[in-house]
Amino acid sequence: MDIRLVNLTKIFADKNSEVRAVDNLTIDIPSGKLIGLLGPSGCGKSTTLYMISGLMEPSSGQIFFGDEDVTELPAEKRGIGLVFQNYALYPHMTIKQNIMFPLQNMKLSKVEAYERLHKYAKLVGIEELLNRKPKQLSGGQQQRVAIARALVKEPRVLLLDEPLSNLDARLRLQTREEIKRIQRETGITTIFVTHDQEEAMSISDEIVVMKFGVMQQLGQPQYVYDNPENQFVAKFLGTPPINIFNGYVSNGQLYIGREVIGQSELSNQEVTIGIRPEGIEISDDGKLTIEILQVENIGRDKSIVARNPFSEKDTVRFIVDSDSQVEEGQTVKVNIKPHKYHVFDKVTEVRVK
């Protein structure tokens, strides 16, 4: 089931103010894909999800499921499965009763209802837990129950609102892999809301990056990371975050301070330059000399915090292999890798190279 949002807008207004939570959002979501709505708190991603679900009415715009305009269709008639952040399981019911609860008004035979129960309990890996109560389950198991309950109706669309935010780091990793597997096996069009960029990039076919209700960029995760359309997207994606420098173009060359880091076809102007942590490398013939302030061991890599050679107030972050012999207080030479930096307009913050 493909989904189209056309000029979708949601305005929250009172006597003194007006907030455009979602502003003229137009997106085409292909059938069978997993799409991540991504952005900081307050960017409008959950509001978008609730409008798609029918739990919130748009101020303007349209929502299509396939060729059907569902903008004014009640939530219960849209054929959606919704998984909330807090799971919303009924504590007095068994897991079996929780999963089967949405089937009560569907006029299914008892045989078909039990077939669906066991089909989706098996799919999410909770067949052995059906007679337990929610309080007897871990957070990850409760999340699987919530997903099974959403899927048992065999909805046209699956909507997930920050589904992993209540889990610890290990369970988050495990459960996001499970969500990806379940989505692939069912082929259901899925929209996944999160503020965690690593989470969104790891499981989404495409991501939609939002800011203040406005879509900033849509595309495959790696493409968006490698080709951010503006400075906000570049800064939001990536851990450690991108390094930002004041720079300028002069006579076809791109400068940070007095150092040339590349060629440029732009006219002479001031610009902002973003360099990814993986775009800085230690080299014996490096053009820049920097002092290492802190070394963070993060497993396969080391994250280096160094003094910014162009600003005494700021630091620079870059990544080296875990076996690199670097120490705090050490001075090293570095180079900027070609094609690992972005150039942004100084005023509009749109990427120009």
Does residue 208 carry a pLDDT above 90?
yes
Q: Which residues contact 266 (CB under 8 A, 6 or more apart)?
A: 249, 254, 343, 352, 353
For 73-90, what is the mean pLDDT?
91
End-to-end CA separation in angstroms for the chain: 37
Which stretch, 46-55, 159-168, 194-203, has highest mean pLDDT?
46-55
Q: What is the pLDDT of residues 35-67, one digit of tens each?
A: 999 999 999 999 999 999 999 999 999 999 999
Which H or E run includes 111? helix 110-124
- With 0-12 CB in 10 A as exposed, 13-18 as middle and 19+ as buried, what is 305? middle
Structure-token pair, residue 289: 């000399």
Residue 59 one-letter amino acid: S
Helix (H, G, I), strand (E, B) or coil at 325: coil
**Averaged confidence pLDDT in the chain:** 92
- With 0-12 CB in 10 A as exposed, 13-18 as middle and 19+ as buried, what is 10? buried
Candidates 165, 168, 125, 169; CA nearest to 145 is 125
Q: pLDDT-derived band of residue 149, with 50, 70 and 90 as boundaries?
A: very high
Q: 270: how many CB neighbours lie within 10 A of its CB?
A: 11
Q: pLDDT-derived band of residue 310, with 50, 70 and 90 as boundaries?
A: confident
pLDDT of residue 14: 83
Q: What is the pLDDT of residues 237-276, one digit of tens each?
A: 998 999 999 999 999 999 998 889 888 999 999 999 999 9
d(CA 119, CA 138): 21
- Stretch among 32-36, 46-50, 109-113 having the lowest mean pLDDT: 109-113
pLDDT of residue 166: 78
pLDDT of residue 224: 97
pLDDT of residue 36: 96
For 195-207, what is the mean pLDDT?
92
Structural contact between residues 235 and 44, judged by C-beta atoms closer than 8 angstroms: no
Does residue 312 carry a pLDDT above 80?
no
Q: Which residues contact 184 (CB under 8 A, 6 or more apart)?
A: none
Which H or E run includes 222? helix 221-226
For 147-167, what is the mean pLDDT?
91
Q: What is the CA radius of gyration of the chain?
A: 24
Structure-token pair, residue 104: 């009560």
- With 0-12 CB in 10 A as exposed, 13-18 as middle and 19+ as buried, what is 211? middle
For the four alpha carbons of 245, 249, 255 and 257, in that order, the dihedral sign comes to negative
- The greatest distance separating any two alpha carbons of the chain, rounded to the nearest whole angstrom, comes to 77
d(CA 1, CA 155): 10
